[in-house]
Amino acid sequence: MKAPPFDYHRANSLKEALALLAAMENAKTLAGGQSLVAMLNLRYVFPDHLIDINPVAELAGIDVADGTISVGAMTRQRAMEVSSELYDAAPIFREALALVGHRQTRNRGTFGGSLCHLDPSAELPTLALLYDAVVHIASTRRRRSLAMRDFIAGYMNPAIEPDELVTRIELRSWPRDAGYAFLEHARRRGDFAIASAACLIEADQDRRTIRRIAIAVGGLADRPIRLAAAERELKDAQGGPGAFDAAAQACRQFEPLVDVHAGADYRLATAVTLVRRALTAAWSRATSPPASVP
Amino acid sequence: MKTKVSLRVNGLVAEGVVEPRVSLADFLRHELGLTGTHLGCEHGVCGACTVLVNGVSVRSCLMFAVQAEHCDVSTVEGLAESPERLAPLQQAFRDEHALQCGFCTPGLLMTLTELLRENDSPTEADVRDAISGNICRCTGYQPIVAAALLAARLMRAPGP
């Protein structure tokens, strides 16, 4: 179908975008449009105004300094995928971004747009939660920031007001020798994942004990989740198949989503398997000597 | 409220006056008469409407014409040097029987044009990854992959 009528406003700067958002009733921010325009065409949403922030150059870009990664909200997913700076600081992003939609959608889709759309199976919100990212938010009234866990208010529901805009996402990189893995299962490469698992692990010098760990799961519940209980169990424990299998069972605390692609049992079983495999893969990277980068 | 849109399509200046809700795909087809760009699903899943905007592939159903203001758009109509002389990729599609009904073909050609521009020696896996967002219901993809690999070989070969 075709999009319903709306008034179009082109913002050329952050200031302009915020002024437009403050002035307009029932307005939507148009970032990459890879979800919003589809929803318009399907007539799921009927905004009176679209505020196009694509021209706002100050909202795009990747900066890495002193272990802090700062990504502008309008940074294209493709730019993140090919960024060597981001790869050096957080290689899991490249692994996950290869699974975000398709090349044609990554050329337009943005980090901030994905976080605000907050599809439970989307890769980037899951990664932002994995890293305890800080989401920077602006309006004409105030500037504020939210931890990713607080930014997620509910199913596809970010904790931002109608006049607010996500400007930047900040995360702390893990040490270079930390293991990582992002795995997902979808019906077709690039489609919405039935479930996904993201994992970061730091091994102790003995390469047997887990010093630090983060596990996030997408697609399973109504929002991306952290397996906090499993993280606590695994911290300072020995890594290995038994421990990882037990940790993956933590998925069972969550109410699985049900849709045409997967019922509750199948989705849960998929998530458990993916978490076990992601832990195993990340642990293997954390405990083997650094391999040459492909 | 209708808005004036001015962009370049296949190297030529193109202008029109459209409602903001008109997609780039519909602008190309209905305002400019460039019906080579096909619309399948209109929600970004099938890839039939893929065109290049400033050199990168996009779904033209997920972008409004007003957003393409001052952009450089390439469509399937711009691939062949002349009606008699197909681009190597198009010729490879013909030689490998990489199309039947042809509905998905423009999107696949534009997607693969982007791939071959940046990678002159793609592997089969590279090709399959590149076209993962283009749905073809006729060919089973094998001849499309073969055509892309053949085109890469043709384009690498020194010219006559």
When divided into structural domains, chain B yields a total of: 2
Chain pair A-B, CB pairs under 8 angstroms: 84
Length of chain A: 294
Note the pLDDT tens digit of each residue in A123-136: 999 999 999 999 99
- Write the ipTM: 0.96
CATH class of the domain at A179-287: alpha beta
Reduced 3-state DSSP string for B31-76: HCCCCCCCCCCCCCCCCCCEEEECCEEEECCCCEHHHHCCCEEECH
Cα within 13 Å of Cα(A222), Cβ side: 8
| pLDDT score, position A7 | 97
Mutate to test the interface with A, among B5, B21, B27 (most CBs of A within 10 A): B21
Residues in chain B predicted with pLDDT less than 50, given as ranges, are none
Please name the helix (run of DSSP H) or strand (run of DSSP E) that holds residue A217, with its range, or none. strand A210-218
| pLDDT score, position B1 | 83
Say which of A6, A98, A108 has its CB closest to residue B58. Answer: A108
CB atoms within 10 A of CB A285: 20
Q: How far apart are CA A68 and CA B112, in angstroms?
A: 36
A1 and B42 in contact by Cβ < 8 A?
yes
Within this chain, do residues B119 and B146 fall inside the same structural domain, yes or no? yes
Within this chain, do residues B141 and B117 fall inside the same structural domain, yes or no? yes
A105 and B133 in contact by Cβ < 8 A?
yes
Residue B28 in domain: yes
Mutate to test the interface with B, among A103, A184, A188 (most CBs of B within 10 A): A103
Within this chain, do residues B99 and B72 fall inside the same structural domain, yes or no? no
Of B12, B44, B76, the one marking the end of a domain is: B76
Within this chain, do residues B40 and B99 fall inside the same structural domain, yes or no? no
Please name which of A219, A203, A208, A231 lies closest in space to residue A258, comparing C-alpha atoms. A219
> Is A99 in the B-facing interface, judged by CB distances under 8 Å?
no
Residue B81 in domain: no
> Taking a C-beta distance cutoff of 8 angstroms, is the pair A264, A166 a contact?
no
Q: How far apart are CA B38 and CA A8, in angstroms?
A: 25
CATH number corresponding to A57-172: 3.30.465.10
| pLDDT score, position A294 | 52
Q: Chain B: residue nearest A50 by CA?
A: B20
Q: Which domain holds residue B12?
A: 3-76
CATH number of the CATH domain containing B129? 1.10.150.120
A3 and B44 in contact by Cβ < 8 A?
no
| pLDDT score, position A196 | 98
Say which of B20, B47, B111 has its CB closest to residue A6. Answer: B20
Q: How far apart are CA A239 and CA A248, in angstroms?
A: 13
In angstroms, how far is CA A179 from the centroid of its own chain?
18
> Is B55 in the A-facing interface, judged by CB distances under 8 Å?
no
A76: β partners: A110
Q: Which residues of B touch A24 (CB under 8 A)?
A: none
Note the pLDDT tens digit of each residue in A195-251: 999 999 999 999 999 999 999 999 999 999 999 999 999 999 999 999 999 999 999
Q: How far apart are CA A16 and CA A217, in angstroms?
A: 37
Within this chain, do residues B92 and B151 fall inside the same structural domain, yes or no? yes
Domain boundaries, chain A: 7-52, 57-172, 179-287
A38 and B1 in contact by Cβ < 8 A?
no
> Is A109 in the B-facing interface, judged by CB distances under 8 Å?
no
CB atoms within 10 A of CB A123: 27
**Structure-derived torsion over alpha carbons of residues A76, B69, A44, A34, reported in degrees to the nearest 10:** -20
Averages of pLDDT over runs of 10 residues in chain A (294 residues) are 97 98 98 98 98 98 98 98 98 97 97 98 98 98 98 97 98 97 92 95 96 98 98 97 97 96 96 98 89 53
Within this chain, do residues B61 and B100 fall inside the same structural domain, yes or no? no
Say which of A6, A8, A38 has its CB closest to residue B62. Answer: A38
> Taking a C-beta distance cutoff of 8 angstroms, is the pair B107, B48 a contact?
yes
> Taking a C-beta distance cutoff of 8 angstroms, is the pair A40, A121 a contact?
no
Note which residues in 161-220 of chain A have CB less than 8 A from chain B: 188-190
CA B56-B58-B60 angle, to 5 degrees, is 135
From the options 1.10.10.10, 3.30.43.10, 3.40.30.10, 3.30.470.20, give the CATH code of A7-52: 3.30.43.10
Q: How far apart are CA B129 and CA B60, in angstroms?
A: 20
Q: How far apart are CA A203 and CA A284, in angstroms?
A: 10
> Taking a C-beta distance cutoff of 8 angstroms, is the pair A99, A77 a contact?
no
> Is A294 in the B-facing interface, judged by CB distances under 8 Å?
no
Of B76, B103, B134, the one marking the end of a domain is: B76
Within this chain, do residues B72 and B92 fall inside the same structural domain, yes or no? no
| pLDDT score, position A188 | 82
A8 and B3 in contact by Cβ < 8 A?
yes
A37 and B26 in contact by Cβ < 8 A?
no
CB atoms within 10 A of CB A281: 19
What SS3 state is found at A207?
coil
| A57-172 and A179-287 agree in CATH topology | no
